[in-house]
Each structure stands twice: as structure tokens, then as C-alpha cells.
A = this chain, B = another copy of it.
Amino acid sequence: MAMSLAEEVSLDLEVMFKALASERRLQILEWLKDPAGNFPPQEHGDPHEHGACNQFIVEKLGVSQPAASRHLKVLTDAGLVIATSRKGWTYYRRNEEAIADLTRQLANDL
């Protein structure tokens, strides 16, 4: 059965573009490419598996904790980032599959 790319992966381009239309959020995505390299060592939560600890992102962004929290929510709601809670901390990592789906669709459809 034939489907358009949009149906196939059901990406909401407008939501994703809104999430990406922010220097702060682009910066977060960039940092999350290499959590271990961009953030201090963390005691719990493997940087490679679970991503970077929330608090490190807050500090590096240089905004208040609630502001950072909302940026991370925008990214997770758009499906670009995945949150993991563990022992009272929250870790964020890139959703590489979704990002690859997005760039693939853009290369074909934009």
C-alpha cells in the first residue's frame, strides 16, 4: 500500500521546525551529540546511554532552571529528544532515529 512520506513517518513538520527555531534548543541538540565531552562527569546515569543530566544542561545554558525545563519539554514534545528519569535525576539524549527520519524527509520533500 502506497503512502506519502508524511503519512509513513507521521512527522509534524511545523512542530519540529518550531522546536528547532531557537538558538538555545539548537545548542542543546549540539551538546547532546557528545554528552560525555560537553558536560562534567556524572556519578549516575551513563552519558552515552541516557544522555546528559538535566542540571548540567541548565548550568551550561545559563538560564533559570524552569526556562531550561521548558526548552527541554519543547524538544521532547517534538520527539527530537528522549528523557529518562533515574534515581531522582533526569537525563536527556538525542532521539537519533527521529532526527534521521526528519532529515530524510526534508531531503525528499522540502
Contact = CB atoms under 8 A, between A and B. Distances in A.
Contacts of A106: 102-103, 106-107
So how many copies of this chain end up in the complex?
2
Given A14-B22, A17-B17, A103 B107 contact: yes
Chain A contact residues: helix, strand, loop or mixed: helix
A3 interface: no
A17 B14 contact: no
Interface in A88-110: 99, 102-104, 106-107, 110
A29 interface: yes
Interface residues of A, number: 17
A5 interface: no
